[in-house]
Structures are given as structure tokens and as C-alpha cells.
Amino acid sequence: MTHAFVSQVSTPFIPRSTTTTESNKTGSWRFLQPRYDEKTAPCSAACPAGEDIARVEMLVAQGLFKEAWETILQENPFPGVCGRVCFHPCESVCNRGAFDEPIAIHTLERFVADTAMRYGLQPQRMALPPKSERCAVVGAGPSGLAAAYFLARLGYGCDVFEARSEPGGLLRWGIPPYRLPVPVLQWELEHLQALGVNIRCNHKITGGFLHGLKDRYAAVFLGCGHYKSPALGIAGEDLSGVEEGLPFLERVRSGDLPSLSGTVAVIGGGNTAVDVSRCALRLGAKVLMVYRRRRQDMPAFGHEIQMAVDEGVELMELWAPLSIEAHPDGFRLSLQKMEVVSEEGGRARVKPVPGETTAIVVQKIFKALGNTAEEPWLEPPGEIAPHILHLADTVVSRREDGLVVVYGGDLAARSKSVAHAIGSGKEAAMALDLYFRRGWDAIVEETARCRVGPGPSLSMEIYTGGDRCRRNPHVVAFEEINTDYFLYGPRIIQPRLLVEERLQGFSEIDLKVSAALAIREAERCFNCGVCNQCDNCRLYCPDVAVCRDTSPQGRHINLDYCKGCGVCVVECPRNAMSLVENETGGRP
């Protein structure tokens, strides 16, 4: 039987959907707009070499060790060295410190470099076209080598002139092997040379060197460091057996290990003084470090001082040397008691306490005061003139004959550290490239554009137009981190030799960490301001307006639908997004 009347009654017209809501362009509701806005992590802004630390830790957490290593190499040719000897100012500003404990950035840097070394990785480098200008670099220390490295990457041929038999400068001759084993330096130097940097050792430069350079070089970088020790200005300092600290360290580094006995006095409070003390300790002496201010005023790195004390170095604070006399058992060192008068920037000003002196008898004395340039012509010009630019870590001078002389490293940097020296070399390379390509007037403005956060550290990745260009210079504060996405977790403990083991020789004190531990540590990192593809923005979007794509960001906001609620921005754990005024669409 058929339904004769079915045809008479039409299909009911009911509220039943036939389409989606996608024709409603709810983006027109928006008056604020979320934006992927990667920002600057405080660690990277504090790094004198401008390393992209937040990204490095992200890559380590993902197990992408090679990529992490290459990311460091963008900004620093010496991760293996810096992972050992850097004073890591990054860690003291780490936002994680306000949560539980800072990330062990230093340990992770070394881990990344060691992993690369262990597997003999070759970095993938962008090859910039070769340039016609050739540069000379004087001094194969960290700043000179860094300058050569960055110049080579920018396409410049470089000749490095080194007075000593091997390159490395302070890294090779000044830092004891228990902090920096020679093979680490050598491995990183091989990469440098692979870039085409030509290092000519045993080639001491004299004052006349600069003349006639113009024919062969368009520029010269002077990074000779401070090797000359100033005089103490006291009687007896020239007595035989009273030695300079740096040459002593150089002897140790060259394998000449004199046996010491009795008590050794080391005068000074800088890193050289600490290194001399700890070497002397290892060579069999009892060591007294004599310093005219307090321990906290010492220029040496705090953790180095602490290790020296742990190893048995005795500190004599607030004692200034008065005189040195020969003594049957060695030397009689007279000392003047000092007292703190006032503090300036946390550092004490001291004056003698009248009448309070003492004398100690020691078997040997090392002078390890601050150092100065070996030759006056190596010092950068102090004057302000149109042909002289005083940049953050370099001084650039344009001579009348057209040759550009850049003073870098310890000669010109804000601070005397390996990381500052590297930053200085980078700044020099950038300034020279700018000068050659864009002219003298572009240098100041364009280097400023390449600052990491507020600077003064510079980024070569930014300079060469890498992804880091997109970073907002705003430095992410702890309050801007959504800590709900992070669990409390203890910081990795750097494994070390026991004190007894350390004193047996010059073996490296800091031991390797496992990949598992490194990843766990890197996972603690907030990755401040850097997107780690966590996808929270897409996950939480109430309007399904975050879409994956193949861009470096991996996703984009579909402004046709985004209502501008801002949930993605707040739920971004690491402040890699911002809510800004409407750029397109929506109400004004």
C-alpha cells in the first residue's frame, strides 16, 4: 500500500541546520588582538655573548642537542669553553630563580658542547658570499678569535697574528686545566679554522705593524689583552722568587709543573690570584691569599673563591702588603691592616688602621694584581672624535689612510671576562661589516638594532636576519610567566670531583652530566618569551581560531573568527604572545 498523500504534504520545514556557523565572521567583534610576540629572556639579555639561551634550553628539552649547539654557535664560537669558564651572569637573572632555583644554564651549555664534541658534530652554517675586504686580527685570545669567527661567517678573509706558540690567549695560557682542559679549546679552534680563519702563531706584532697594513688589510682588530702586571709599588717586590701570577699560570699550562713547598702568599683578589692560589695548592704549597679589601670585594668570581677556600686556600682579608724582605726561610712579607671606610656600589673603600701591622714568613710570593696592555699603542684612544666610536665592548677608530682599527677584548670591553671578550669580537665584526657595506654612519644605529633586549649584548642572528629578528626586545619578568604550567623541581647538581681528588692534580673538576639529567634540567626552563610549540593557544581557543600551519611559528590566528578574548595570551606559559590593539578587522 502506498502513501498517496505523502507527496501532497511537503517535507516539513523545521529548524534544522544545513550549514555551519563559519559564515559568521566573529572577528568583527574584536577590539583587541592576540599576536605571536616572542620576547627576550632575561638570561639572554644578561649574556655578554648574547646567546639565545631560552631557545637553547627548549631544544635541549626536546633532545635536539645538535640544534641547540648550532644555536649557541650563532652567537658564540666557544660553547665548550664558556660552558666551563663563564661566570654565567645569566643564571643570576633567571626567572626560574623566583620560582624555585635558576636553571643550570652553565652546566647545560657545557653539556651541549661536550655532546657535539663527543659525536664529532659539524655545525651547519649559513655561508654568506665572500667579501673582498680582508681583515687582520692581532691576538688569538677569545676576543680576537671571536672577531675572526664572526668576520669569517660574514664572508671576510682573516689573518690572526699570535705572538705565542699556540692560539687561545688566556684560554690557552691563563686558565688552569682543572677548569678548562686543552682538548676542549683545541676542538673549538678546529671549527674556527675550518671556517677559513688563518692563525699565524709565533708572530709577535710590534708598534710598526700598523704602518703599511693598509695595502693588505682594510681593517685590523686589536685584541691583545692585558698581560702586563703593574708594580705593587713596595720595597722588595723585585726580589728574585717574587713572581708574577700570569707567567706562573702559563708555565703550568705549558706542562712545567714546579714542585712547591711551604707557604705561598698570593697577593691580589682577581681570578688570576685565585687560579694562581689553586695551582700552587696543587703543586704542594700551603696558600695564603692576601687581599686589601674584603672577600666580597674581590673581583674574582664568587664560586671560584668558594672552591679555592674549599680546597684549602686561606684568605687574609683587609691586609695590604707593605714590604717584602728576604728571609732565611724565604721572604718576610709585612702587611698593613686595613679597614672599611665606606662602600661604593657594594665595593669597600679602605684605609690603613694606624699602627696595626703584621708580618708573615712565606716561602714564595706571587703578585697577581690587575694587568694592563703590554704596549701603550695597544690601548684604545680615549678621546671623543668623529672618527672614533666608543661602542659597548669595542672602540672603533678610522685612520686617515682609511684603515679601520678596532680595539676589543680586555682592552675595551665593559668587563674582563671570556664572554665579554666574545661579545667584543662580535661587535667588532658587526661594526666592520656595517662600515664596509653601509658606511661609517650606519654603525651605531645598526648595531643598536641587533641588541638582545635592551643590550648592550648583540646578536649575530638578528644581524644576519634570522628568526630571532622577530623577538620583541621586552625582557620577560617573572610576573609575566604563567607559573601554573610549571611544577617545582630541584635544580641539577653539578657533579664534581671531591676536594681530595681535586688536589691530586689538574684533572677537570666539573664532571659530565647525563643526557637524561640535562633534558630534565632543560625542561625546568620557562623558555621566557620563546614559543616552544606547547600549543596552549590553540588548545584553549574558545573560537577555534588558532590554526596550525607550516610557518616557523607553526600556527596563526584566524582573524576572521578571533574575538580577541585574550585567553591564548594569558595561557601562554612563557609570554610568547601579546594582546595588542587591533591591527586588522574588528572595531577600531
Which residues here bind another protein, judged by CB under 8 A? 1, 3-6, 8-26, 29-30, 482, 484-486, 523, 533-536, 539-540, 542-545, 558, 560-561, 563-567, 569-571, 579
- 262: alpha, beta or left? (left if phi > 0; alpha if psi -120 to 50): left
Output the smallest distance, CB 40 to another protein, in A.
22
Pick 20 or 551: Cβ nearer another protein: 20
Least CB distance to another protein at residue 32 (A)? 9
Q: Cβ closer to another protein: 34 or 321?
A: 34
For another protein, which is the closer residue by CB, 10 or 124? 10
Cβ-based nearer residue to another protein, 5 or 584 = 5
Smaller CB separation from another protein, 511 or 539:
539
Residue from 470, 80, 189 nearest 69 by CA: 80
Write down the least CB distance from residue 342 to another protein, Å: 40
Nearer to another protein, 160 or 569 (CB): 569
Quote the least distance from Cβ 588 to another protein, whole Å: 17
* Whole-Å CA distances, 338 to 237, 318, 320, 333: 20, 5, 7, 15
* Cross-strand pairs, 581: 32
Considering the complex, state which of residue 177 and residue 564 has its C-beta at the smaller distance from another protein.
Answer: 564
Nearer to another protein by Cβ, of 484 and 500: the residue is 484
Cell of 479: 610576573
**Contact between residue 434 and residue 442 where contact means Cβ atoms under 8 Å apart:** yes
In the complex with another protein, the residue whose CB is nearer, 62 or 363, is 62
Q: How far is the CB of 536 from another protein (least distance, A)?
A: 7
Pairwise CA distance, residues 157 & 424, whole Å: 19
Q: What's the distance, Cα to Cα, between the start and end of the chain in Å?
A: 65
| CA distances, 367 to each of 182, 189, 292, 303, 349 (Å) | 25, 31, 13, 22, 21
Strand-pairing partners, residue 161, are 138, 200
**Rounded least distance, CB 374 to another protein, Å:** 54
Q: Do 54 and 529 form a contact (C-beta atoms < 8 A)? A: yes
Quote the least distance from Cβ 91 to another protein, whole Å.
22
Residue given cell 645538535 in the structure block = 66
Of 211 and 587, which has the nearer Cβ to another protein? 587
CB of 557 to another protein, least distance (A): 11
Is residue 231 within 8 Å of 267, Cβ to Cβ?
no
Half-sphere exposure of 1 (CA within 13 A, CB side): 1
CB of 70 to another protein, least distance (A): 23
Give the residue among 373, 316, 75, 311 at the shortest CA–CA distance from 176: 311
Q: Which is nearer to another protein, 24 or 296 (by Cβ)?
A: 24
Residue 108 region, left (φ>0) first, then alpha (ψ -120 to 50), else beta? alpha
Instruction: Compute the least distance from the CB of residue 71 to another protein, in Å.
Output: 20
Distance CA 554, CA 569 (A): 16
- Three-state DSSP at 231 gives coil
CB of 14 to another protein, least distance (A): 5
Beta strands in 328-478 (DSSP E): 330-344, 347-362, 364-367, 388-390, 395-398, 404-407
Q: Which of 452, 439, 161 is nearest to 431 (CA)?
A: 439
We find the least distance from the C-beta atom of residue 64 to another protein, in angstroms, to be: 15
Q: Give me the torsion for CA of 438, 213, 200, 461, rounded to 10°.
A: -10
Closer by beta carbon to another protein, 508 or else 560: 560
Task: Take residue 21 and report the three cell numbers written for it.
Answer: 556557523
